Amino acid sequence: MATDLEQMVYFDEQAGELLVSKSHAFQAEVRSYLQLLRNKGVQFSIAQVEMDVIDHRRNQYASSNVEFIERSEMQRIALDIFRRAVHRRASDIHIRVSSRAPTKIFFRVHNDLLLQEQHPENWGKYLCSAIYTAMSDVSDATYEVLSRQDARISKRNNLPPGLDGIRVATSPQVDGNIMVLRLLYNDEGQSNDIGVLGYSEQQKSLFAIMKRRPTGINIIAGPTGSGKSTTLQRTLLSIHAECKGAKHIITVEDPPEYPMEGIVQTPVANANSEEERSLAFQEAIKATMRLDPNIIMIGEVRDPPSARLALQAAMTGHQVWTTVHANTAFGIVDRMIDLGVTANAMCDPTLVTGLICQRLLKVLCPHCKRPLARDIGRYPAADLERILPCVETDKVHVMGKGCEACAQTGIAGRTAVAEIIVPDAQLMGFIKSGERDRARGHWINKGGVFMLDIARQKINAGLCDPFHAEEEVGPLEMSSRAALR
Cα dihedral 435→440→444→450 (10° resolution): 180
Q: What is the pTM of this model?
A: 0.77
In the chain (485 residues long), the average pLDDT of successive 10-residue segments reads 55 72 76 76 82 70 52 86 94 94 93 91 90 83 84 89 91 94 80 90 96 96 90 93 94 81 82 74 87 93 90 93 95 95 95 97 95 90 90 93 90 95 96 94 95 95 94 80 41
Instruction: Give 155-187 pLDDT, tens digit per residue.
Output: 888 999 989 889 999 999 998 999 999 998 886
Q: Which of 275, 269, 235, 233 is nearest to 254 (CA)?
A: 269
Instruction: Give the pLDDT of residue 483.
Output: 43
- Give the integer Cα–Cα distance in Å for 95 and 179: 5
The domain defined by 75-185 folds into Beta-Lactamase (3.30.450)
Instruction: Give the pLDDT of residue 238.
Output: 94
The region that residue 16 occupies, defined by phi over 0 for left and psi between -120 and 50 for alpha, beta otherwise, is left
Instruction: Give 230-260 pLDDT, tens digit per residue.
Output: 999 999 999 999 999 999 999 998 777 777 8
Instruction: Give the pLDDT of residue 15.
Output: 65
Instruction: Give the pLDDT of residue 66.
Output: 45
Instruction: Give the pLDDT of residue 54.
Output: 74
- CATH tag for 194-483 (out of 3.30.70.100, 3.40.640.10, 3.40.50.300, 3.30.450.40): 3.40.50.300
Q: Which of 451, 425, 428, 447 is nearest to 439 (CA)?
A: 428
Based on its alpha-carbon atoms, the radius of gyration of the chain, rounded to whole angstroms, reads 30
Length of the chain: 485
Q: Which of 294, 221, 222 is nearest to 251 (CA)?
A: 294
Q: Rounded to a whole number, what is the distance in angstroms from the first to the last CA of the chain?
A: 92
The residue ranges of every structural domain in the chain are 2-49, 75-185, 194-483
The alpha carbon of residue 48 and the mean position of all alpha carbons in its chain are separated, in whole angstroms, by: 56
